[in-house]
Amino acid sequence: MTHILGISGSLRQQSFNTALLHAAKNLLPEGTTLEIATLHGIPLYDGDLEAKEGIPAAVATLKEKLRKADGVIIATPEYNNSIPGVVKNAIDWLSRPASDIPGVFGGKPFALAGASPGAFGTLLSQTAWLPVLKTLGTHLWTGGSLLVPKAHEVFDAQGKLTDAAIENRLQKFLAGFSQSLQ
């Protein structure tokens, strides 16, 4: 059984990226599972807080899920043409202490996907992730990409994916990433 961890880069209840991950759960190839992780409860990174109190419980929980996953999909929004602070903050916490980086990120397969109301999907955000993921020593899967533009037109008010072409692209993306993990 292949286990993928999906991290939505948004805290918003009606997040298109969280909706994208929920849609993915129904399109996985046989023998693959997807666990969606939340970033709720992760404080802003503060070295003084880390020194005084250690790693916050929400970070430790997410770090353990990341360690156990065969691969990770970051469903990243795009804020101001780059990486959203909330998900970058979580990755910064997950890289603490620095001695944990090889065991948490080293060689771990990562894939990038994203949905945005804009016309280019999350192209710039996904591009901005490249040096971060390289620095952490991840293995970035480049066998496919998933950019969902005009997300407000492909999800309904309940967050259900309603666009057949995007659904097909998502299914192919998941099949390719899952296959790369075996």
Q: What's the CATH code, domain 2-180?
A: 3.40.50.360
Q: What is the pLDDT of residue 105?
A: 97
pTM above 0.85, yes or no: yes
Written as one string, the DSSP assignment of 101-147 is HHHHTTT-EEEEEEE-SSTTTTHHHHHHHHHHHHHTT-EE--S--EE
**Each residue's pLDDT tens digit, 140-171:** 999 988 999 999 999 999 999 999 999 999 99
Mean pLDDT over each residue of the chain, to the nearest integer: 97
Q: What is the pLDDT of residue 29?
A: 97
Q: Could you state, in order of their start, the residue ranges of all structural domains in the chain? A: 2-180
**Each residue's pLDDT tens digit, 72-95:** 999 999 999 999 999 999 999 999
Contact 21, 53 (CB under 8 A): no
Q: What is the pLDDT of residue 145?
A: 87
Report percent pLDDT > 70 for the chain. 100
